[in-house]
Structure 1
Amino acid sequence: MKHTTVLISGASIAGPALAFWLARYGCDVTVVERSAELRLGGQAVDFKGETHRTVLRRMGLLDEVKARQTGGHDQTIVDEHGKALAVIPGEFTGGEIEITRGDLASLLYEHTRGRCEYVFGDTITSLTEVGDKVHVTFAEAAPRSFDIVVGADGIHSNVRRLAYGPEEDYVRFLGHYYALVGLGADGAPAMYNEPGRMVAIGGPKAPAFFVFKSPQLRYDRYDPEAAKRILREAYRGGKWRVPELLARLDGAEDVYLDSISRSEVPAYSKGRVVLLGDAAYGNTLGGFGTGLAVVGAYVLAGELRAANGDHRVAFAAYESAFRGYAKISKQGSAGPFLAPPTRGRIAMRNWTFRSPWLLGMMLKLTDKYATGIELKQY
């Protein structure tokens, strides 16, 4: 493994988590990130159960993650008049350890930047396998060659597109969109539903969090004004605090809108290119993405070490060890749960949080899914 050169695309969670292990194992790691700097925004993320804790412990980061955790927050489901209908407990929304995505990204970056090369403000434009290397061209930097290239660049993975083909062949749209918007809305954590749409404020998930049912849309994901137009149309005529929130959109600078979708690839690797995290097995808002990213990084790096850098052996072992665990990402879609399509379905969803037995069953299932892999000691 010593001096094996690895290029990782994506500096969010999965990429730096993999860089952490590969640098420890002696690889020469470069991380390329499209954004001009480390992205510190986004919703809160969480870890669940002993498997997640074990990986964080082996990284030596468990105490630091706990020190930055949000503590979890109960969220009240309200009607249009603000009357409480049910309470979603913090342990359901925030797992065992909840931390803001930005804090986790910052922590991983701090523990890897001294041992890895980070290139911000650039992106890969082509991948060509030549002999025992992958020749890589970039939008800004000069071409380079690497032993291995890793796509850890999210559900809209650029590496997956270049190595596998068009996104529409490997990503399934699940019928909903979500938005995170910095609106400065005050008040205790609360969530409001109308058929096919939800809005929540307060707590660490986001200043304002929207989920709505929609046909698939065509728009520029990097254009905040397009996102604002879509939100205004999707929430037209909404009650509760919806008119107030829409009125604040004009002044909002932090706006992110994306589809709720699922990655579906036939294999995690192709030649010397391998996918990790949401690029391989993402399910937007599925509740397991961060855990899958961090555990997946541990397994992929460990199998590369066990195979002494032989990518064929390592990638096959990674897929064999991890695909069964990653099936938790195929457990339905968060869209219909967060934004039920009818008032009857909204009432049924709310009722589950008023039933200690049903809530307990959901929490037990969550723990079962999160611990469904035997971790090797690499």
Structure 2
Amino acid sequence: MDVLISGAGIAGPALAYWLARFGFSPVVVERAPALRPGGQAVDFRGEAHLSVLRHMGVLDAVFEAQTSPRDMVFRGLDGRVRSRLPAWFTAGEVEIRRGDLSRLLYEHSAADAEYVFGDWITSLHDDGAGVDVTFAHGQPRRFDFVIGADGMRSAVRRLVFPEYRPTFQGYYFAIWDADGDDRDMVCAPGYVAAPGWLMFKSSVPPELMTDALTAPDVYFDSISRVRMPAVSSGRVTLIGDAGYGSTLGGMGTGVAVVSSYVLAGEMAAGGDAFARYEALIGPYAHGCQGNTGRFLAPSTRLGLWARDRMFGLLPKMPMFARVDMQRATAIKLPEYVPAR
């Protein structure tokens, strides 16, 4: 069966790998002309994340490419240290730059998947037996299934679920290349920044923040959350941030990798695969969602004081400090048997 995947970030290549293993023929279409390099560090936490990487055969390569996480030191505008967020709290078992992970997953799946860069879906027509797809540049094609793995601003979601948009969480962030890897964060109410990194609170809605506001080498976006009653319709479904996104700190990378394994396995099992996929992944992904802006950059002086006190208590409260690990492991993965 032919499966079209929109998006070659993290979820798309991971899903392409598993679909090929289960006997499908995946095609990945990516709007960007090439893989996007760089980006912020992402991490994996707990056995659910690591076991899928291990079964994919990429865990060793992830460890080889890992970054060296350091404590995040928060300073006031006067330069004095206010608090410190330990590296073990922010980085999980292994941390890797998003661009490095994306390329690793692409290289691991490219031999068994067709990749089309510089193109995107413009329309979908699901007639119950298949999905007719048109593209901005390529010729129309027909697929058995279509999967939206195209992020928080998913084009597939807009086409199939136009009534659902990400919920703005009141903050924006920007990431760009900067010299060094300084983890010292300058903070004030509703604001936190470091070399190559900025987060701030704003009441301006995302639709008014156009791409023209930032330079091409700056990644700029809102902190938002995707929460839908269902992420599937007919022969189309969503995965990763497209269906369950939570900008920054929502363990989206781990959720995407786990979801790719579950979705491919359920599709291979046949029947009402998308319903089973949603029933297993939905509660898991929702439990990992949060608002990093409110956590790192409280909007009041009292909020900053409370944040600093909480960070100071983390080493003394291991059960509270590892609530992220509890969320990351809150799923029992089925055993699927690949076709090859």
TM band (smaller chain): over 0.9
Distance 1:358 1:319 in 2: 37
Q: Does the CA-based 8 Å contact 1:221-1:258 persist in structure 2? A: no
CA contact (8 A) 1:352 1:358 kept: no
Please state how far the C-alpha of 1:199 moved relative to its aligned partner.
0.5
Which residue matches 1:369? 327
Alpha-carbon offset, residue 165 of structure 1: 1.0
The code of the aligned residue for 1:269 comes to S
1:324 pairs with one of 268, 271, 283: 283
Are residue 146 (structure 1) and residue 143 (structure 2) matched? yes
SS of the residue 2:198 aligns to? strand
Residue 247 of structure 2 aligns to a residue in which SS? coil
Q: C-alpha displacement at 1:281, in angstroms?
A: 0.6
Q: Deviations over 1:164-186 (max 9, x none)?
A: 114xx3311111111112243x5
Amino acid at match of 1:39: R
Deviation at 1:269, TM superposition (A): 0.5
Quote the Cα distance in structure 2 between the aligned partners of 1:71 and 1:96.
Answer: 11
Counterpart AA for 1:200: A
Q: Shift of residue 28 of structure 1?
A: 0.9
C-alpha separation between the residues in 2 aligned to 1:36 and 1:366? 35
The structure-2 alpha-carbon separation of the partners of 1:321 and 1:287, relative to structure 1 and needing over 3 Å to count, comes to closer
Measured at CA, do residues 343 and 358 of structure 1 come closer, stay the same or move farther in structure 2, by a change above 3 Å?
Answer: farther
Q: Which residue of 1 aligns with 2:299?
A: 341
> Is 1:262 the counterpart of 2:249 in the alignment?
no
Distance 1:358 1:213, change over 3 A: farther
Q: Secondary structure at the match of 2:259?
A: helix
For 1:19-34, what aligned pairs fall within 5 Å after superposition?
Answer: 19-34=16-31
How many angstroms does 1:187 deviate by? 6.8
Q: Which amino acid aligns with 2:293?
A: G
1:197 and 2:191 are equivalent in the alignment? yes
* SS of match in other structure, 1:173: strand
Find the partner of 2:214 among 219, 227, 235: 227
SS of alignment partner, residue 377 of structure 1: coil
**Counterpart of 2:234?**
271
User: Residue 264 of structure 2 is aligned with which of 285, 297, 301?
Assistant: 301
Answer yes or no: is the 8 Å Cα contact 2:73–2:85 preserved in 1: yes
Structure 2 distance, partners of 1:217, 1:111, is: 35
Shift of 1:357: 5.0
Decide whether aligned partners of structure 1 residues 97 and 187 sit closer, same or farther in structure 2, where only a CA change above 3 A counts: closer
- Measured in 1, the distance between the counterparts of 2:178 and 2:283 equals 40
- Tell whether the 8 Å contact from 2:45 to 2:325 is kept in structure 1 after alignment: yes
Is contact 2:314–2:320 with CA below 8 Å preserved after alignment? Answer: no
Indicate the residue corresponding to 2:89 in structure 1. 92
Q: CA deviation at 1:78?
A: 1.3
Q: State the alpha-carbon separation in 2 of the partners of residues 196 and 365 from structure 1.
A: 24
Amino acid corresponding to residue 363 of structure 1 in structure 2: A
Question: What is the match of residue 181 of structure 1?
Answer: 176
Q: TM-score, normalised by structure 2?
A: 0.94
Structure 2 Cα separation of the partners of residues 12 and 49 of structure 1: 22
Partner Cα separation in structure 1 for residue 86 and residue 280 of structure 2: 33
**Structure-1-length-normalised TM-score:** 0.85
In the aligned structure 2, how far is the partner of 1:301 from the partner of 1:128? 22
For 1:160, the equivalent position in structure 2 comes to 157
Identical positions, percent: 49
Which moves more between the two structures, 68-77 or 105-114?
Answer: 68-77
In the TM superposition, residue 351 of structure 1 has moved relative to its aligned partner by 1.5
Q: Which residue of 1 aligns with 2:250?
A: 287
* Structure 2 residue ranges without an equivalent (≥5): none
